[in-house]
Amino acid sequence: MSDLLRNTIRLLIFILLQVYVLNKIPALHQFIVPIIYYLFILWLPFSISRTTLLVMGFITGIILDFFMMTPGLHAATCVLVAYLRPFVINILAPKDAAGFSYREPSPKAMGWTPYLVYTFVLTLAHHGYLVFLEWLSFGSFFHFIIKVIATTGISMLLIIITELLFPRKLKFRTNTA
């Protein structure tokens, strides 16, 4: 399966999962909103160029926005995540080798600890910015802080569960790719 096809299917699944499952389940609490769709951006291949990454982020966000009738909100957030992603990966990349030997970020490619750091930082950035944009229209500062923490917690839980339930079969990165 080509990267394009694989990622298109993945995008579709993530968006539908977010819109029709996670947004439909009865609210646990006003602060706890399960969000996982941006994992799509986190799973894009290492080799993708930064500009493409930004465009992918924008597209992912705007599609979700169209479903949730909040144009721009998730798009802005996803663009931020896509922008920050290469920096985080560079920090976590092993210094001795030329980089990661797998094509996509995953616990297997990076090791559990670096991968969790990677997801945690980007999750925090995503939720921080998302809740910040919401906070501009309503809510208090306390509300903002608590919501970022709670949402990040539930998202990390979802990501860990996803990684444990669906271990991706990853190919080694090749020169031809």
Partner 1 sequence: MRNIFLFIRRFSTAIFFVALQALALWFLITYNKFYRAKGLGVANEVTGWFNSRYNTAEDFFKMREENRKVHKLNDSLMNLLSVNFIRNDTASRLTTDSIPFDTLGHYRRYRWRNAQVTYGTVNAEKNYIQINKGSKDGIYDDMGVFSSDGSLVGTVINVSPNFSQVMSLLHVQNKTSVLVKKTRSSGAVSWNGKDPQFLILSNIPKSDSIVKGDTIVTGNYILSIPPGMMVGTVAEIVPDNSTNFYVLKIRTAANFADLQQVFVVENLQYPEQESLLKATQKKVDDPKRTNR
Task: Give the interface with partner 1 as residue ranges (CB under 8 A).
Answer: 16, 19-20, 50-51, 54-55, 57-58, 61-62, 65-67, 69-73, 75-76, 79-80, 83, 133
Shortest Å distance, C-beta 122 to partner 1: 15
- For partner 1, which is the closer residue by CB, 23 or 162? 23
- For partner 1, which is the closer residue by CB, 86 or 153? 86
Measured between alpha carbons, how far is residue 78 from residues 38, 39, 58 in Å? 7, 10, 6
Residue 172 is classified by DSSP as B
Give the whole-angstrom CA distance, residue 57 versus residue 47. Answer: 15
- For partner 1, which is the closer residue by CB, 93 or 116? 93
Shortest Å distance, C-beta 83 to partner 1: 4
Shortest Å distance, C-beta 5 to partner 1: 20
Other CB atoms within 10 A of residue 26 CB:
4
